[in-house]
Structures are given as structure tokens and as C-alpha cells.
Amino acid sequence: NAGVTQTPKFQVLKTGQSMTLQCAQDMNHEYMSWYRQDPGMGLRLIHYSVGAGITDQGEVPNGYNVSRSTTEDFPLRLLSAAPSQTSVYFCASSYMDSAPGAQYFGPGTRLTVL
Amino acid sequence: GDSVTQMEGPVTLSEEACLTINCTYTATGYPSLFWYVQYPGEGLQLLLKATKADDKGSNKGFEATYRKETTSFHLEKGSVQVSDSAVYFCALTPNQAGTALIFGKGTTLSVSS
């Protein structure tokens, strides 16, 4: 099992650029989520999904889009990057009966927006 | 709204010292409580959990007891090692399906030999 994988590990964008952060899991988990981690802020939920075709907003969804076309993949799209989106992004997944508490986290993507 | 408050760090200890990281929560109903650990350069890993009052979660020598009367879930270890150096996050989920995992701000632990 590769677990939860994220690509890229690092990314630098200019303000206004768009990009997609990739997340995949091979554990057949129904629940997937995206968090951002900022210094002194803990982790905050951006979007989550309880299955293919079903997504919902978390605490900080503005400026981000998600879709879930397969069980395995849950990409996060930045539509027009802003410096305030400089952060470390974590994808996580779990079975529904342990969601959202007991999740498996990916290694993270460190994003810098200039 | 629901929230988690952790003691501020960094916490600096010598090897074999005792560790306590305080965590208190505010939540309606009966939340489930978790401790996650983040080693340098890595994602978070679930360390332990407790789902009801008086439950004790334990793993890798760490323990935490769900205390409803004091709304606390303090993390303890009797003898820390250098390899325990990491950031520790207390978190909760409200007792409702599909809601978020709410994190504290994290406590950095540094253990020296």
C-alpha cells in the first residue's frame, strides 16, 4: 500500500496563476479531505468528500475547488492563486465509519505564492 | 462553536523526563478526542483516540484519558526519547456524521539527549 500520496511536494506560483494539487489513496477509503496548515493555526478543513461525486465545503473553502470522480483521487484546484494561500496542504482519507476523526494523512504539499 | 485549546510550546525536555501536554476542549454533546503527531517534514499520524468519557487511549508509551468533568484530554508519557521530538496536535470530532476534525494549534516537543 502506498497509502495517501500527494504531488507535488513543493510548488511556487505567481499571484493569479492556477494549479491543481493531486491526492490519491489506495485504501478504498470513502472519506477524503483537504486541510491547510499555517503557523500557529493548526489545521483547517478546506473541502471534504464522502464518496465519488459528493463534495462539501469545510471551514476555509474560498479560492479552492474540488471534485471526486473516482474513489481514489481527490484533486484540489486553486483558481487564481493569492499570497494568502501560501501554506502547507495536507490530503487525508479514512473509511466512513472512522471519519472524520481517525484519518490517514499524506506527506503534504508546500505551496508558496509570490 | 467547538474548539480545542492546547498548551503553548515549545516544550523542551531531557531524555527520560516525564511529559504532559495539556489539552482542553469546548463542544456540545459527546465528542470523540484524538492526539495526532507530526514528525519533521512529514504528515500527521494518529497517535491515540478516545470516544467516550473515562476512556483511556494509549500507543507507543503515550496515554490520554477522556475527562468529561474537566473537558480535558491531556497527553502523558512517563519517559520521553529523542525520537519523540515532534509537533503534537489535540483534536476532536463533534458527535455528528460528516463534520470536520477540529484541531488545536499544536505543541512542539523537543527532547535532547
Q: Residue A10: exposed, middle, or buried by beta-carbon count in 10 A (0-12, 13-18, 19+)?
A: exposed
What pLDDT is stored for residue B97 in this prediction?
A: 54
In chain A, which residues have their Cβ closer than 8 Å to the Cβ of B43?
A: 4, 90, 92, 105-108
Question: Which residues of chain B fall below pLDDT 70?
Answer: 95-99
In chain B, which residues have their Cβ closer than 8 Å to the Cβ of A108?
A: 42-43
Q: How many helices (H) and strands (E) does chain B have?
A: 0, 12
Contacts of A11 (CB under 8 A, 6+ apart): A19, A21, A109, A110, A111, A112
Query: Which of A42, A102, A104 minimises the CB distance to B104?
Result: A42
A4 interfacial to chain B (CB closer than 8 Å):
yes
Reply yes or no on whether the pLDDT at A32 is more than 60: yes
Reply yes or no on whether the pLDDT at A97 is more than 90: no
Mean of the per-residue pLDDT values of chain A: 93
Reply yes or no on whether the pLDDT at A71 is more than 90: yes
Q: How many residues does chain A have?
A: 114
Picking from B105, B90, B80, the residue whose alpha carbon sits closest to that of residue B12 is B80
